[in-house]
Amino acid sequence: MNGTGPSVSRRGLLKGGLLALPALAGSRMLSALVSSPDDAVAAAAAPGTTAAYDPALHDWAFVCHADRCIGCGLCVEACKLENHVPLDPEFNRTWVERHTVTEDGEVLVDSPHGGIDGFPPESTAEGAEGARTKEAYFVPRLCMQCDNPPCVSVCPVSATYKSEDGVVLIDADRCIGCGYCVVGCPYGARYIVPSGEETPIGTAGVADKCTFCYHRITRSQQPACVEVCPVGAREFGDRKDPASPINVALRDDRVRVLKPEQGTEPRVFYTGLEGEVG
């Protein structure tokens, strides 16, 4: 009754127990209700998709053979049809450039409408008329899906991210259209979807770019540009799959990347290039 000592009386025990039970129950209810990411992911997997697709088991890579490319532009057209890219030549997820090396060592680049209608017989680049050509070749271009992507690090709302299998994707519901990723890309691979157009998962005003045809590669298909290339200038495969021919190409074809000095560590490799590619 005087309550001075620290002894626990029967009353104190009763009080403590009565207080502890609701606290325990409340915390258990809370933890059960915070949804775990796995449940959400399984719930969100749409029917028809490979819910069995595990990104951690794949490591996608791409090889462009500039010595095989004929500049037909079928890849550019296929990409636009597959991915609902605006037909306006200003917007390309992939495009083809022709590099003409003159006798003076200058590299002139032309890319009429991204190469979608093929190329005229001679280079249309400024300064190409009358120049003596030493050699010329075609260079397919697309998003490099960098392992150290400048676009991912500069996005203020984390709308663009790198998936576990190595593809850089964009959450179109989160993108605010600031264009920071567009100016941040050293390869010019991104664009803001113009008004009047829509991406398959978003509206105009968000950023968009090549996704390696993510909806195809997760179904064990090839990206559309690889599918239609008539000469095999584009190769795609899984580095984690020992049977994939991409590993042979990466090992044997003396591949290199574009703008290595930017430190972006691209996943798209090139063979058959001469000199610098800007």
Decide if residue 273 touches another protein (CB under 8 A). no
CA separation for the pair 110, 122 (Å, rounded): 10
User: Where does 143-271 show beta strands of DSSP type E?
Assistant: 160-162, 168-170, 191-192, 207-208, 234-238, 268-271
Question: Considering only residues 59, 106, 154, 253, which one is a binding residue for another protein as defined by CB under 8 A?
Answer: 154
The answer to the question of residue 109 lying near another protein (CB under 8 A) is: yes
Among 58, 61, 64, 98, binds another protein (CB under 8 A): 98
Question: Counting contacts by CB under 8 A, is residue 275 touching another protein?
Answer: no
Taking each continuous run of H as one helix and of E as one strand, the counts in the chain are 8, 10
Nearer CB in complex with another protein: 192/239: 192
Write out the binding residues for another protein, residues 215-244 only, by CB under 8 A: 215-216, 218-219, 221-222, 224, 227-232
Count of chain residues binding another protein (CB under 8 A): 127
Least gap, CB of 193 to another protein (angstroms)? 9
CB nearer to another protein: give 227 or 253: 227
In whole angstroms, give the CA distance from residue 80 to residue 86. Answer: 7
Piece of the chain touching another protein by CB under 8 A; list 39-47, 239-247, 248-256: 39-47
Distance CA 28, CA 128 (A): 73
The correct pick among 59, 106, 131, 204 for binding another protein (CB under 8 A) is 204
Contact between 246 and another protein by CB under 8 A: the answer reads no
Spell out the long-range contacts of 124-132 with Cβ–Cβ below 8 A and sequence spacing 24 or more. Answer: 125/100, 128/100, 128/102, 131/100, 131/102, 131/103, 131/104, 131/106, 132/102, 132/103
- Is 253 a binder of another protein (CB under 8 A)? no
Find the binder of another protein among 159, 210, 255, 268 (CB under 8 A).
Answer: 159
Tell whether residue 80 is a contact of another protein (CB under 8 A): no
CA pair distance 201, 271, nearest whole angstrom: 34
Q: Is 266 in the site for another protein (CB under 8 A)?
A: no
| Amino acid, res. 98 | R
Positions 47 through 66 that interact with another protein (CB under 8 A): 48-50, 53, 55
Under rule CB under 8 A, residue 90 binds another protein:
yes
The C-alpha atoms of residue 84 and residue 202 are separated, in whole angstroms, by: 11
Tokens standing for 57? 């088991």
Hey, what are 262's tokens? 């930017």
Element (H, E) at 15: helix 10-33
> Which residue, among 224, 250, 222, 248, has the nearest Cα to 236 in the 3D structure?
222
| 61 vs 97, beta carbon nearer another protein | 97
Binding of another protein by 163 (CB under 8 A): yes
Candidate list 6, 8, 18, 52; residue touching another protein; CB under 8 A? 18
Binding segment for another protein among 41-49, 238-246, 247-255 (CB under 8 A)? 41-49
